[in-house]
């Protein structure tokens, strides 16, 4: 597979979610740009492979310069897909949590997705899913430890929150000054079945992380509880529309308190997790 066309209607800009924060939806996944006070900006996630030129033209229009870094919430193909190409073209580092490194240095592949766990449209896409591990080589840099105020020099004002469960080294980012939260795949604001919907009129709703790829549901629940505890008022997810408003913290607590019922697939709850589904 050397080319996948992405049509224009599958590219949707998401303007001004919070101060300096805008995004781009490419097919079923969002990337975000964080502009800082000095005019520099950081790219959060890179969508699917073959998204590089779309991200680049959006970035040039929106920010008028290359980012200071690319930061990955985790290493799944729909978030790290264009990281290598963009980091080379822009000559910038790619930051990820150390626990994601094996998946980003070509050493390991994530466990095969569990399509039975409510995959929705994703199985239909499986022929186009990349199978080989991603290798970012020497571009890959380790994110600093959790919580420290300026957790990454390139992202002033944003705290790094380790939110494992969906993957071991999944991270989220929180800006305390206006309670804005970037959650990657720690949870979604749309059902997996609706990932491709042009969901302009579909109300956003909270769901757990994308189920077919989540490796540790216990940890995923703890992570959602941790994020709910931050009481965010704006949430920008990897899948689904951004949410903002006074009711967001309560909705997130409801998701955390009812995580098994809302998010955890039944076969996981019953201890009969579907066996290996090989791609």
The radius of gyration of the chain's CA atoms, rounded to the nearest angstrom, is 17
Shortest distance (Å) from residue 187 CB to Zn ion = 11
Sign of torsion over alpha carbons 118, 124, 125, 126: positive
> How far apart, in Å, are the Cα atoms of 237 and each of 123, 181, 185, 273?
22, 8, 7, 26
Please say which residue, 43 or 157, places its beta carbon nearer to Zn ion. 43
Shortest distance (Å) from residue 97 CB to Zn ion = 13
Please say which residue, 50 or 63, places its beta carbon nearer to Zn ion. 50
Name the residues that contact Zn ion, by CB under 5 A: 76, 78, 185, 238
Please say which residue, 78 or 100, places its beta carbon nearer to Zn ion. 78
Shortest distance (Å) from residue 140 CB to Zn ion = 18
Other C-beta atoms lying within 10 Å of the C-beta of residue 1: 10
Please say which residue, 68 or 211, places its beta carbon nearer to Zn ion. 211
Distance CA 231, CA 247 (A): 10
Shortest distance (Å) from residue 48 CB to Zn ion = 10
| CA-closest candidate to residue 182, choices 17, 10, 11, 69 | 17
Please say which residue, 157 or 242, places its beta carbon nearer to Zn ion. 242
Distance CA 193, CA 197 (A): 8
Distance CA 276, CA 266 (A): 16
């Amino acid at each position: 597979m050397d080319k996948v066309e992405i049509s224009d209607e599958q590219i949707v800009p998401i303007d001004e979610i919070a101060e300096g924060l805008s995004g781009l939806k490419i097919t079923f996944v969002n990337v975000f740009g964080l502009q800082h006070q000095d005019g520099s900006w950081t790219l959060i996630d890179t969508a699917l492979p073959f998204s590089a030129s779309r991200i680049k033209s959006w970035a040039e229009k929106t920010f008028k310069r290359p980012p200071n870094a690319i930061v990955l919430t985790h290493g799944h193909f729909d978030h790290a897909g264009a990281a290598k190409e963009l980091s080379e073209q822009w000559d910038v580092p790619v930051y990820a949590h150390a626990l994601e490194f094996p998946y980003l240095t070509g050493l390991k592949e994530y466990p095969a997705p569990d399509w039975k766990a409510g995959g929705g449209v994703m199985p239909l896409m499986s022929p186009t899913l990349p199978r080989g591990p991603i290798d970012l080589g020497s571009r890959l840099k380790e994110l600093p430890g959790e919580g420290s105020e300026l957790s990454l020099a390139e992202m002033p004002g944003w705290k790094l929150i380790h939110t494992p469960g969906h993957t071991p080294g999944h991270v989220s980012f929180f800006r305390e000054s206006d309670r804005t939260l970037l959650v990657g795949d720690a949870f979604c604001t749309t059902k997996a079945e609706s990932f491709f919907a042009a969901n302009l009129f579909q109300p956003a709703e909270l769901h757990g992380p994308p189920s077919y790829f989540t490796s540790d549901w216990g940890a995923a629940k703890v992570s959602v509880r941790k994020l709910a505890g931050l009481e965010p008022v704006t949430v920008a997810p990897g899948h689904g529309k951004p949410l903002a408003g006074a009711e967001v913290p309560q909705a997130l607590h409801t998701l955390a308190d009812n995580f098994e019922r809302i998010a955890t697939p039944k076969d996981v709850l019953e201890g009969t997790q579907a066996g290996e589904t090989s791609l």
